[in-house]
Amino acid sequence: MSSESTLDDEDTFKILIATDIHLGYLEKDAIRGNDSFNTLEEILKSAKTNQVDFILLGGDLFHENKPSRRCLHTCITMLRRYCMGDKPINFNILSDQKVNFNTTHFPWVNYQDENLNISIPAFSIHGNHDDPTGAEGLCALDLISASGLVNHFGHSHSVEKIEISPILMQKGITKLALFGLGSIPDERLYRMFVNKQVTMLRPKEDQDEWFNLFTIHQNRSKHGPTNYIPEQFLDDFIDLVVWGHEHECLIAPTRNEQQLFYVTQPGSSVATSLSPGEAAKKHIGLLRVKGRKMNMQKIPLDTVRQFFIQDVVLADYQDIFTPDTPQVTKKVEDLCYAKVTEMLEQAERERLGCPLTPEKPLIRLRVDYSGGFEAFNTSRFSQKFVDRVANPKDVIHFLRRREQKEDNKDEVNVDYGKLLKTTAVEGLRVEDLVKQYFEATEQNVQLSLLTEHGMGKAIKEFVDKDEKDAIEELITYQLEKTQRHLQARGVTTEQDIDLEIQRFRDSKKNTTEEENEIKEVINRAKAHRLERGEMPVDMSVDLALESDEDAAPLAPPTRGRGRGARGRGSRGRGRGAAASEPKPAGRGRAQKSSAATQSRSIMQAFQSPSQRSSRPGANKSYADEVTIEDSDEDIPVMKTTSAPPRPASSSSSFTKLSSQSQSHSTKGVAFDDSDDEEEDPFKGPSRSRR
């Protein structure tokens, strides 16, 4: 079939398919502010040029849930310019439109409104960016729908059960059932599919004659155990799925071999993130449907800004530089400059002959600097390309390679000692941790005056017994003693002072003198605390009381706040007393001091008493521990033969098919992916009978 009239006869649906336009993205940006508007105009102009029957949008028409007035004004202006006119509509709608368009006070398709003159109707579901909110459940798409420019469908009002009723269309002998489901949180929809709470309605008569087209806006790739929708969840009577929300352009329909339907993923028409999936060439699709056969024609978008992304692993350039190479940062910067320049030259070559393509491309260079390399100043680097790229602030992105987890294929002989990393070892002391730190650290941060043993003891007193002056007293004591030693020796030159300090420090290691000095320091710290009127704290008592959940109370139970007998699930005694009037030293006071100790930074010990906060618990912070389950196992879906359709009520022309029910219809859809327009787009092998 070579003639255009034969390709597009009175029995062929011509549908322009696009998703994720994200109108209004970065509209305040001086360079990229008009990108989304220009691309929408190109899409609508293509629909008018190809004389399509209608436009199908797969969600996220707007980038913001509450678009700006400029964004709404531009959208309405372009829809009115390209979708209104005198061109006749050559298909009819057979289904109950009050059910299909249930979000508006005008529940009928816009081209049948006697007050409007529509030449190209547009049908759209909502996405996650422009989803309905508020008590009325309205979204920005409802504003455009109420104005008569877009037909909003696929909005489910129930959060417990979903019934998807198709828009039934007919053009000549071709019957098209258009299903749509707007964006729903993936975890909720996943659970509803598993619990068989999603039902797709089908016409009772001539089910095998309908071409079933389904539009959905959900995660297609797996982001978590239930944070996506597997293709196997969808009913197997569907012929083609238009999948929105995913921005990577995979518009060529791919066949799902389990459900035996095709899936097309048009992707976004504007890059909203600098990720590899956005770098693919952007397309929209021209879908032709005749009978049970279909053909998808890819239409490239010329107004989309070019985007190039490249990864650089510095460890792979050992022949040029290493972390120890002199001026290695300058050489790394030169390498990145060459890579960015190379991408800019490629963009310039590809832009030749495309006057609609924006002049400045998007460039992203991801630099893996693992292995001891250092990052350079990205702001200064980006200034070199401020007049050549559209994103000068984020051209370079530094990242470190994560350590790969071992693949334990042998589940029997697993070395759990390598897998389990204990956070606390029984019997490991604070002073041991201090010693291990200084043994492993670099030479330039080693202790000069203090010994590791002395520092460890001081930190232990600070942490365990709330001796706030222990570290400060240790430093002061050792500084004074070292100064007296140097004066007695008569050392004057700087080099001799360093050697004498090192010799004096090493002479005290692991000796009785060192132990006596530590005791003297601790006694001084206790004396300072008693001078301030603070009572001694024994943390071990409180820890023991907290760990013993079933221990009997030490005092007879009373009816006072926080002082009586506690339940089994409480965390300790005397917590309520901390908020009441001051009491003598006891369990309640010890608990309060314990909480304050955990929130105090060790570095505060190096400050003078006047610099410390008067409220030790004022800076307390809490670290949330989040456990993420990342299971790779999918929930198995059992396919069972459904029972014969039950007779429906007289007011309904549909049969209910719950999700995953198996159809006995003949699958006769053929797909021709040939790019040659001279060939018959509807020629192809018929689909296997099930």
Tokens standing for residue 7: 């390709």
Whether 254 and 671 have beta carbons less than 8 Å apart is answered as no
Give the β-pairing of 261-265 and 250-256. antiparallel
Q: What burial letters (b/e) apply to 597-634, b meaning 16+ CB within 10 Å?
A: beebeeebbeeeeeeeeeebeeeeeeeeeeeeeeeeee
Instruction: Give residue for tokens 């760990």.
Output: 547
Give the β-pairing of 151-152 and 122-124. parallel
**Number of alpha helices (DSSP H) and beta strands (DSSP E) in the chain:** 16, 20
Closest listed residue to residue 588, CA positions, set 563, 606, 622, 625: 563
Q: 531: exposed, middle or buried (C-beta count within 10 Å: 0-12, 13-18, 19+)?
A: exposed
Q: Which of 22, 63, 126, 129 is catalytic?
A: 129
Helices (H), ranges, 397-511 = 416-419, 430-440, 452-465, 470-489, 494-507
6: number of Cβ within 10 Å: 10
Closest listed residue to residue 208, CA positions, set 178, 244, 175: 175
Query: d(Cα 551, Cα 540) in Å, to the nearest integer?
Result: 16
DSSP code at position 463: H
- Whether 155 sits among the annotated catalytic residues: the reply is no
Helices (H), ranges, 121-211 = 140-146, 186-194
DSSP assignments along 312-375, one per residue: EEGGG-TTT--TTSTTHHHHHHHHHHHHHHHHHHHHHHHHTT-TTS-SSPEEEEEEE-TTT---
Strand boundaries in 165-282, DSSP class E? 167-171, 174-181, 198-203, 210-217, 240-244, 250-256, 261-265
Distant-in-sequence, close-in-space partners of 666: CB < 8 Å, separation ≥ 6? 208, 689, 690
**C-alpha R_g of the chain:** 36
Query: d(Cα 688, Cα 236) in Å, to the nearest integer?
Result: 13
Q: Dihedral of CA 313/315/317/321: which sign? A: positive
Query: d(Cα 255, Cα 606) in Å, to the nearest integer?
Result: 67
Closest listed residue to residue 391, CA positions, set 401, 378, 400: 378
How distant, in Å, are the alpha carbons of 170, 209, 217, 674, 678 from that of 683?
Answer: 21, 18, 30, 10, 12
Task: Give catalytic residue positions.
Answer: 129
